[in-house]
Amino acid sequence: MTSPKNPLVFKIFTECRKTKARTSKIYLPHGEVDAPVFMPVGTQGTMKGLLNEQLYNLEIQIILANTYHLGLKPGREIIEKAGGLHRFMNWNRNLLTDSGGFQMVSLLKLAQITEEGVKFQSLNESKLEILLTPEHSIEIQNSIGADIIMQLDDVVKTTSTDVNRITEAVGRTSRWLDRCLMAHKKADSQSIFPIVQGGLSTELRTKSALEHCSKNVRGYAIGGLSGGESKDDFWKMVHLSTNILPKDKPRYVMGVGFAVDLVVCVALGADMFDCVFPTRTARFGCALIMTGQINLRQKKYQNDFSPIDKECRCSTCETYTRSYLHHIVTMHTVACHLVTVHNLAFQQRLMKTIRVNIKEGTFPDFVRKFMYDVYPDKKYPSWVADSMKAVNIDLIR
């Protein structure tokens, strides 16, 4: 099984005795990834104003890129000519690409989904109808050359209650998975993850997860969540999916990046996460700290000569004060870069703390302490209390 041609080897190291949390390593063509892992999003082949060297300093082992954006610019041809995205951007660690479908449905209001694929009208003056099929998505992703790639899935708005539509989407997602696997030309260097769909319906999610389990794949994504649904629904869908998906393969919950959500999803047995939030919020001067976030634009930081976070060892916190950041935030790009570095360092530190606690058998204690720090009045949101109870952690006690 660990033949050198296998582009994804998953090894679990420690399993939490109470919850479903586990620490693991994912061995990929561009190095190993310590999981649970947060994967920052570098949409267009670059991480929001950071040099690769800065990402290496932050010990980031895998980043995301968006197929839809890269397919438009620089385009498949240029990326192929450059020898793939790793070489194009000179990034020597791992990459993961999405299928492009989600971006299309969310960015282009006119996108239309048929059995063939996602159809939309191009935004330029040609007004050509463009069709993104499962085959086409994989073709682009093969050119980009990411270490982990996503199947094209049939995305339904998370809050939709149209059972017929969700049923159709689940079936279609499975059929498209087969087409993606058939079209895949680089099976020895890239691994396709199927995406569990099914909206907020227990039956349909179960069906989707079970269908994917029968396929020859090396990991799974849980999709169609984090789109505005209630958190009470969200955690149940994650919980249910991880209960079905095989234990010995990585599970990736798409679109999750808030600290509380990450802690919950890890307890529910998820291994990989991505979200634009930490980098996007940096642009508006929001810096992440363990108990939430601070907005550096606020006047109260004008004469605050402490770093964003005294506990943080990032290059921003080592050199800059809240006061200086307050004065340049949203005014100079440097401020954006500085807060981005800190926010990524924060995500890294959080995930490392999680891994260490799982490894040392103290994860349940960590969860309790973490939630208490975030909600010092112990008024835990129901979804946090319920989800933790489902994995044997009683927060109220």
Partner 1 sequence: MKFSVKTSVKSAPRLGKLYCSNDSPSSFRFQTPMVLLYTRGGSLPHITHEVFKMISKNQEIIQIPLTSTYSFHQAMSQFEGNIASFVGMKDCLSYMTVQDPGELTQSGHHVKDNIPIWTRGGKVMINADKYMDLIENYKPDMYCMLTDSDTNVASLNKRIIKSVDNTIKFYNKCMERHTKSEILKDTFVIASVTGGYSIRERKRCLDAVTSNENVGGYVIDGLHNNGPEVEFIPFDEVKPVVKYVTENLPVDKVRIVQGCWNPLMVLHLVGCGIDIFDTSYCYIVTERSAALTFSLGTDDKLQKFEINLRESQYADDFKPILPNCTCLACTKHTRGYIHHLLAVQELLGPILLTIHNVHHYLRFFEKIRECIKENTLPEYQTKIAKEFREFEKKISSRTSSDTSVIAAES
Write out the catalytic residue numbers: 98, 274
Q: Which helix (H) or strand (E) segment is 272 a member of?
A: strand 272-275
Q: Which residue has the tokens 């570098």?
A: 42
CB of 321 vs Zn ion, minimal distance in Å: 12
- The answer on whether 314 is annotated among ligand-binding residues is yes
According to the binding rule CB under 8 A, does residue 78 interact with partner 1?
Answer: yes
Sheet with strand 129-132: strands edge to edge:
112-113, 118-121, 129-132
Looking at the Cβ atoms of 92 and 202, the one nearer to partner 1 is 92
Question: Out of 314, 329, 335, 393, which residue is the one contacting Zn ion (CB under 5 A)?
Answer: 314
Looking at the Cβ atoms of 125 and 377, the one nearer to partner 1 is 125
Options 113-121, 125-133, 228-236, 314-322: segment touching Zn ion (CB under 5 A): 314-322
How many other CB atoms are found less than 10 A from the CB of residue 246?
Answer: 11
Question: Out of 88, 234, 252, 366, which residue is the one contacting partner 1 (CB under 8 A)?
Answer: 88
Return the SS3 of 19: coil
Nearest to 384 by CA among 259, 251, 277, 231: 231
Please give the span between the terminal C-alpha atoms of the chain, in angstroms, as a whole number: 45
Q: DSSP assignment of 111-168, as one string?
A: -EE-SS-EEEE-SSTT--EEEE-HHHHHHHHHHHT-SEEE-------TT---HHHHHH
Cβ contact 180:152 at 8 Å: yes
One symbol per residue from 324 to 343: x for binding Zn ion (CB under 5 A), - otherwise; what is it?
A: ------------------x-
According to the binding rule CB under 8 A, does residue 278 interact with partner 1?
Answer: no
Cβ contact 119:125 at 8 Å: no
Return the SS3 of 238: helix
Cβ contact 33:62 at 8 Å: yes
The phi-psi region of residue 152 (left if phi > 0; otherwise alpha if psi is between -120 and 50; otherwise beta) is beta
CB of 91 vs partner 1, minimal distance in Å: 10
CB of 73 vs partner 1, minimal distance in Å: 5
CB of 82 vs partner 1, minimal distance in Å: 6
Which one of Zn ion, partner 1, none interacts with residue 303, CB within 5 to 8 A by kind? partner 1
> How far from 157 is each of 23, 119, 154, 180, 332, CA to CA, in Å?
32, 17, 10, 22, 37
CB half-sphere exposure, 130, CA atoms < 13 A: 19
Options 47-55, 111-119, 345-353, 355-363: segment touching Zn ion (CB under 5 A): 345-353
According to the binding rule CB under 8 A, does residue 348 interact with partner 1?
Answer: no
According to the binding rule CB under 5 A, does residue 344 interact with Zn ion?
Answer: no
Q: Which residue has the tokens 């340049």?
A: 328
> What is the footprint of partner 1 within residues 40-69 (CB under 8 A)?
44-54, 57, 69
- The answer on whether 312 is annotated among ligand-binding residues is yes
Which one of Zn ion, partner 1, none interacts with residue 397, CB within 5 to 8 A by kind? none
According to the binding rule CB under 8 A, does residue 73 interact with partner 1?
Answer: yes
- The answer on whether 101 is annotated among ligand-binding residues is yes
Looking at the Cβ atoms of 161 and 330, the one nearer to partner 1 is 330
Residues that bind Zn ion (CB under 5 A): 312, 314, 316-317, 342, 345
Residues that bind partner 1 (CB under 8 A): 44-54, 57, 69, 73-74, 77-78, 81-82, 88-90, 302-303, 305, 315-316, 319-321, 323-324, 327-328, 331-334, 336-338, 341
